[in-house]
Amino acid sequence: MVVGLSHDHLSEPMLIASENAISDGSGGQIDIPAWCLRSKSKDTNRLLAFRQERNVVSIKSSLARVLARNKNNKSQRIALMKGSGWLELIASKNGEIIATEDIPLVEDSSSADGSKDGNHDALRTAVKTFCEQHGLEKPACTIVLPADGYQMLLVEAPPVEAQELAEALRWKVKDLLQTSVDDSIVDGFLLPDDAYRGRQKMAYTIATSRSELQSLVDTLSELDVEVDRVEVPELVLLQLLQNYPREEQTEMVLLIGRQRGFLAVIADQAIYLSRSLELSDEVLQRSGARALDANGPVDSFILEVQRSRDYFESQIGKGVVGRILLAPLVSDATPIVEAIKERLGADVELMDSSVLIPAVNAQGINSTMAGAEALLLASAASAA
């Protein structure tokens, strides 16, 4: 994965080899470069996926890039997220969104002829059909990990140099991993220096299964779809917010996905706090009007938002949260916005997907751009 760097003079990612490398399926290697870059350079190096306002902070949220070759069509890109029983795909050409599709996957342990894994076949067919339908030839690909596809752990940052952070974090969290340390890609990014009032340096560690990621990369490689980026939602969020009007210095952003959600408190174009949320679109749709009942899922959700806001304001040292932004949902989000306002007395805004994702050239796509996964994938697909 990636490494958090805090050298202001740095304009090139520092590559971390060996432990975080996986095969690109054709003899090349996908390695894990720097996660978080702080740079005052105006260099538009293509390795910097995300450049924040005024070029003061550049965020590289890729977990992977191909070092050995770069033959695929970079003007065409698909972004995908694969969950349990579903696949969401969004395609772009020249940075403009042209297609989006949510595909159910029938996950079977064996294929019809018994020669291949059934999950592999279902995924392969879905991606192949999507590319053919939308005229995509050898597109580049960004994988965005689903909510249950990685762990994100807040730890005290080891006192090591930037190039040693990944390995240090790997052993710091090895007993907390859901997969064995040998089958895990582990890295992270540093919180800004003034987080926690500068008392201690903290880092978010991110871990994902090497074997699962390798299997997905291999399947896509068979279709001439080249994975050059693997990202996590928390950092894609920073790219997503670039197009959104920012009135407050410190904001809490809430995303509710199909399986679960997360919140992030952002100040000065950087993440200071991130927490997973149990509320999901699936729960909201299943509960219906009962979701807003006392002690219901929305009630628990708002309590967690309140606790997170209180923790941020008392511990992080960046003042108060000026505004709460809620990403559009598949479900009707208006009752949730009103409930947060009533319970927390906060300035709450439901974000407009057409403002978040302006680069759409296919009629009607923006109207389907609801739900955390679709918005994040659209942002990842349109990134240069």
Instruction: Tell the CATH topology of 245-350.
Output: Nucleotidyltransferase; domain 5 (3.30.420)
Report the distance separating Cα 260 and Cα 350, nearest Å. Answer: 18
Give me the chain's average pLDDT, please.
Answer: 78
Contacts of 11 (CB under 8 A, 6+ apart): 37, 39, 41, 43, 45
Distance separating alpha carbons of residues 218 and 116, to the nearest angstrom: 13
Of 290 and 11, more confident: 290
The residue-averaged pLDDT of 125-148 equals 95
What letter represents residue 163's amino acid? Q
pLDDT reading at 282 higher than 60: yes
What CA dihedral angle connects 16, 18, 19 and 21, to 10 degrees? 80
Domain boundaries, the chain: 245-350
The string of pLDDT tens digits covering residues 289-344 is 888 888 899 999 999 999 999 999 999 999 999 999 999 998 889 999 999 999 99
The CA-based diameter of the chain, rounded to the nearest angstrom, is 61
CA dist., res. 23 & res. 19, Å (int): 12
Q: How many of the other CB atoms lie within 10 Å of CB of 338?
A: 12
How many contiguous H segments (helices) and E segments (strands) does the chain have? 9, 19
pLDDT at 25 over 60: no
Task: Name the pTM for this structure.
Answer: 0.81
Would you state the pLDDT for residue 361?
54
Structure tokens at 39: 């740079």
Give the CA-trace dihedral at 249, 341, 353, 255, to 10 degrees: 80
Q: What is the pLDDT of residues 332-345, one digit of tens each?
A: 899 999 999 999 99
- CA dist., res. 83 & res. 122, Å (int): 13
- Amino acid, res. 233: P
